[in-house]
Structure 1
Amino acid sequence: MTERVPPSREPARTPSRRTARAETDAADTLFLTDEMSAWLSPAYGAANVVMQLARAGVAYGVMESRVDSGNLHEHPIKRGRTTMTYIAVAVAGSARDRRIYREAVDAVHAQVRSTSRSPVSYNAFDPELQLWVAACMSAVFPDTRRLRGGRTYHDPEAVHRAASIFATMLQVPPDMWPADREAFDRYWNEQLDRLEFDDRMREFLIGIARLDFLPRPVQILLGEWDLFMTLGYLPPQLREKLGFDWTAAEQHRFDRWQRGLAVLDRLTPRAVVRLGMRAAIWDMRLRYVTGATVV
């Protein structure tokens, strides 16, 4: 089980003209916040992380990372803040915000690469791995539409095009982003079919779903519920590869949770999500100007 690593494609620390143009074209992405929900279960965050780490190169990049500050088990709150800030900056940040955050991410990614002892070959600058992570992040939009029973505030194709910012901010060349939703679905299903887990990956991903990185009382109280909700959000291929069955009764229970969250979503002003995004950006800017760690 190996990941292809193009040895000569590690980007420079400053954005290329191509990447900068993609960011300029995608500058008006604030409307994407309307497609998010303040009420997607907290378990969705775990599910999305599991999706990202289902790619072996990404999983081992995290499991073997020498960047202690980003260790999920050592700094779970900081890790969650980093992911939330990345999404907020990509969707609602200025070009300067995106440049600052990308450079901070690059500094961390420069330390994430496989060694001779690694069971798979990986490099955090591999655009194929970055594309997969970005695709998982953009999955929040169709998942929110499902939560809302198919209801959407904007043209799904426009949402798909704007979501490319998750990839280009990671320095994925713009032409690697699937041209339309149909192309994205093909890419998504092809990748899901190709994923392979070893026992170490499987244990690590299930541990994330069970909240093993949080204090023991939280694990006992919420761990099994979070695992159930995470499995509900995962594509069926991932559930199967993790070794879980999913019965009709479990789907019915999951759907009840979703209906309750959908009611709360309808009652919540869309400005609430925008405010959360702005707060994350303000926090990032404050940390930047005070010299604190950005990522």
Structure 2
Amino acid sequence: MARPIVRGTAAWKYFGDFRDGLLAGQVLVLQVAHPVVAAGVRDHSDYTSDPWTRLMRTGASLSIYVYGGASGARFEAARLRALHRSFTGVASGRRYSALDPLAYAWVHATLVKVPVDAQRFFGRQLSSSELEEYYAQMCDVGRMLGVRERDLPPDWAAFERYYDSMVAGFSMNPAIEQLFETIRTVPKPVRWLPDSWWRWHGRIQLFLLRATLPPEFRERLGLLWTSRDERRFRRFASAVRLVATPIPAGLRTAHMRWIGKLNVWLRAHPKVYERLIGGQGPGSASPRA
């Protein structure tokens, strides 16, 4: 067992860093590259029609694991497993389940990798001791979620080998194509955003996606990446690093810590959530969660 996730520990400092959001497109592509995840998204997700609500619910759920306390994390893990039991279907002539152990472990792995990649691109790389602590803490989160022990590599080096071997087996599929189209065409979350500003959102998201995907996988997807793109990305990453790195970890993660604590409270008061948001609370078994 790892140290509890408390202030100052590695998972506390890095899992909710606002720079992690710059890899949102990357992690979604890597998740739906898995055929079982792709089938589940096709049959059960509403992200193409209502991406903003879906994004907010996903962020709320993730925040609970690290910043909502042990009891909140256990409750959320049980809720998600109960919810995903109903996500079944047929893909390529075979039945699938969202709780397929290998697919379930892969989704967890992508979320474990994001903060480490975000620091590598936009901050400072985690030290060996930080990586050891961070990975052990995220393995405990995985166990809470129901990831099998045998699907949790024993250390970070083994995890990277597992991660790279999974990515090596992926290629383009309809779910990835749909995701690209959604990023290009997703409507504005609020009406008052100028159209000219919003058009840049899709371009920036696709640029960051191309920049941060594993290079070999990017090539297999047919995504162009030039030396000019690389220079632009390095300038962007340097600017983010310059601005964000001096900010204390407590401020870089404040939004996720606040969301985590708020959602633990809303879980205990679902009627308040329903009145404020117009939907079921984070403790419900809504299929849209």
Q: Which residue of 2 aligns with 1:289?
A: 268
Residue correspondence of structure 1 range 105-144 to structure 2 within 5 A: 105-115=80-90, 121-144=95-118
Q: What is the TM-score of this pair, normalised by structure 1?
A: 0.80
What is the alpha-carbon root mean square deviation over aligned residues? 2.5
2:145 aligns to what SS in structure 1?
A: coil
Q: Percent identity?
A: 22
Counterparts of 2:80 and 2:223 in 1: how far apart (Å)? Answer: 34
Query: Contact between 1:56 and 1:196, CA under 8 Å: does it hold in 2?
Result: no
2:208 aligns to what SS in structure 1?
A: helix
Residue correspondence of structure 1 range 1-295 to structure 2 within 5 A: 25-26=1-2, 28-30=4-6, 31=9, 32-36=11-15, 38-40=17-19, 42-65=21-44, 71-115=46-90, 121-146=95-120, 147-150=122-125, 152=127, 155-198=130-173, 200-208=174-182, 210-215=183-188, 217=195, 220-291=199-270, 292-294=280-282, 295=289
Q: Figure out how many residues of one structure are paired with residues of the other and give that number.
A: 264
Following superposition, the deviation at residue 151 of structure 1 comes to: 5.2
Distance 1:113 1:148, change over 3 A: same
Farther off after superposition, 97-106 or 153-162: 153-162
Matched residue type, 1:176: D
Gaps (5+ residues) in structure 1? 1-24
Matched residue type, 1:137: L
Deviation string 1:161-208 (CA, Å, 9 cap, x unpaired) is: 21214422321123321111111111011101111333x233113224
Distance 1:154 1:36, change over 3 A: farther
Matched residue type, 2:245: R
Distance 1:166 1:77, change over 3 A: farther
Q: Which residue of 1 aligns with 2:286?
A: none
Query: Contact between 1:88 and 1:280, CA under 8 Å: does it hold in 2?
Result: yes
Q: What is the TM-score of this pair, normalised by structure 2?
A: 0.81
Query: Contact between 1:26 and 1:165, CA under 8 Å: does it hold in 2?
Result: yes
Gaps (5+ residues) in structure 2? 190-194, 271-279, 283-288
